[in-house]
Structure 1
Amino acid sequence: MKTILLVMDMINDLVHPDGPNAKTYVACGMAKGLYENTITAIAKARAANAAIGYVRVGFSPDYRECPPASPIFSRAREAGLFKLGSWGTEVFAGFSPQPGDFDIVKHRVSPFYGTNLEPVLRAHDFRRLVLCGVSTNGVVQAAVREGHDRDYACTILEDCCCGATEDEHNFALAGLRRYAEISTSGSVSF
């Protein structure tokens, strides 16, 4: 089955040690080896010639796509986060995209809503999504539920994901086991 690894929201604003969310995702990620495990997963995908897509949340500098009533994104606007073209929306250097990788920009939690993800998946006949990123209870959960309902086989790399807390991460995984295979960077095959 043709597979793509989706590395989701692993951007500087969320996962860089100097980024504004360092106390949240960096602390959780460091505790569970998120960085090293994600590097391992990307290397395994590249070695198997599997496709890699980078999903990034971002808004125009004037935030024209940002929903003003969203509890999550309205705070991003106030803090000046997630501006496309800025350091904050670049993929964290440790996971750097390479030529030929897919770039999917999203303006909501879901990587499917209003993005080029579905056309990319269909154009290249990808049938299996291997998913990692932050947060487990945000983009990963949305990707699994929508991917499942669009008839994609989904695999979550649980050691390449984290939530704002370990409880959020574990709670999200518990609810997703019915819709996706749960694996790790060490055991997944591409």
Structure 2
Amino acid sequence: MASESILLVMDMMNDLVHPDGMGGTSYVPLCEARGVYDNTKLAIRRAREAGIMVGYVRVGFSPDYAECPPGSPVFSKAKENGVFTLGSWGTQVFDGFAPQEGDPDIVKHRVSPFYGTKLEPLLRAQGVKRLILCGVSTNGVVSAAVREGHDRDYACVVLEDCCAGATSEEHDFALAGLRRYAQITTAAEVAL
């Protein structure tokens, strides 16, 4: 099973989950309260020990924000606020979850980790059949990954204790909607 699975750590980057990033007032308190940092470290360690590939998904735009959709309620203020700039500190993966050499790095310009990225070709080339998913936000990238992954015939697993929304309500509502499409479990209990 290990060779057919991948752990995707999604949008766990400084702009969103570092106390000094823009998510310091939304995602950080919930990540701290829910134990997301320690649980994500556990998930990554367990995956590596089981021989499962760990991949990283990051949202980002070139310095001129050419790929940034101006009408998006999610991304339209990125340029104005100076966030999600590729090559900057903000789009680096949070130190606690730092990638190792050779780990796939998937850069996206929208909520979905599939849309316009190299994720699908990577999964197909590696023979991946099961996506183990974690990150912020539960109602954003995690939900998009589950729904698109499901429709692309991947088995999807959400590590709920490695996810957070901007509010507890967003997280809880997202999980309620995802139970139909994915197995919901934890970093310690996921079958590897």
Regarding TM over 0.5, the answer is yes
Structure 2 unaligned runs (5+)? none
User: Which secondary structure does the structure 1 equivalent of 2:131 belong to?
Assistant: strand
Question: 1:68 corresponds to which letter in structure 2?
Answer: P
In the other structure, the counterpart of 1:154 is 156
Task: Give the counterpart letter for 2:49 in structure 1.
Answer: A
In structure 1, stretches of 5+ residues that fail to align are none
When the two chains are superposed, the root-mean-square deviation of aligned CA atoms in Å is 0.6
Q: Please list, as runs of the form range in 1=range in 2, the aligned pairs for 1:147-186 lying within 5 A after superposition.
A: 147-186=149-188
1:78 deviates by 1.2
Which secondary structure state, in structure 2, belongs to the residue aligned with residue 74 of structure 1?
Answer: coil
How high is the TM-score relative to the length of structure 2?
0.98
TM-score by length of structure 1 reads 0.99
Aligned partner (choices 66, 79, 82) of residue 80 of structure 1: 82
1:105-120 matched pairs, under 5 angstroms: 105-120=107-122
Matched ranges for 1:50-65 at <5 A: 50-65=52-67
Across the two proteins, how many residue pairs are aligned to each other?
190
What stretches of structure 1 move > 6 A for 4+ residues in a row? none
CA offset digits 1:137-190 (Å, max 9, x no partner): 000000000000000000000000000000100000000000000010110122
Q: Return the alpha-carbon distance in structure 1 between the equivalents of residues 23 and 175 of structure 2.
A: 22
Amino acid aligned to 1:54: Y
Q: Deviations over 1:85-122 (max 9, x none)?
A: 00000000000000121000000000000000000000
SS at match of 2:39: helix
Distance 2:161 2:78 in 1: 26
Structure-2 residue corresponding to 1:141 = 143
- Write the deviation string for residues 15-70 of structure 1: whole angstroms up to 9, x where unpaired: 00111210100001000000000000000001001001100000000000000000
